[in-house]
Chains A and B, each alone.
Chain A
Amino acid sequence: MSSETLEKEEADSENGDVEELLVEEVSIDGLCGVY
């Protein structure tokens, strides 16, 4: 499962606000420095 990153900024066409994702995840085997 790829790192579902990152700040996707969706422009809210009605009032110009940007909305960001509050949750990000990665598969735990994706950390270098362990066996």
Chain B
Amino acid sequence: MRDEAFGALAYHHGNRRLVFLKSRELVILVRSLDAYENVDEAIASTLPQALRDQYVKALSSLASSEIIHER
């Protein structure tokens, strides 16, 4: 994953997917996932409640493209 001014771009060699992460907050969240027990905790610690659904959806999308995976 490489940072861009507008977020980040991630590339998966195996499935040939190029993924565009469109917010800096999402990038920070993704980079911080290792530090938390689970997704809910990560989101609760870094983002307001109102944005929770949007970010859960974003993380699911990244998981289905295999950019992130379950520990």
Contacts and interface: CB of A to CB of B under 8 A. Distances in A.
Direct interface between A and B, CB < 8 A: yes
Interface of A: 1, 19-29
B54 A23 contact: no
A20 B55 CA distance: 10
B11 A21 contact: no
Contacts of B53: 19
A23 B18 contact: no
Nearest to A15: B50
A23 B51 CA distance: 14
B17 A1 contact: yes
B42 interface: no
Given A21-B61, A22-B26, A27-B17, 16 more contacts: A19-B54, A21-B22, A21-B57, A22-B54, A22-B55, A22-B57, A23-B20, A23-B21, A23-B22, A23-B62, A23-B65, A24-B19, A25-B18, A25-B65, A28-B16, A28-B18
Q: Considering the complex of A and B, which 6 residue pairs feature the smallest CB-CB distances, nearest first?
A: A22-B58, A23-B61, A25-B19, A24-B20, A28-B16, A28-B18
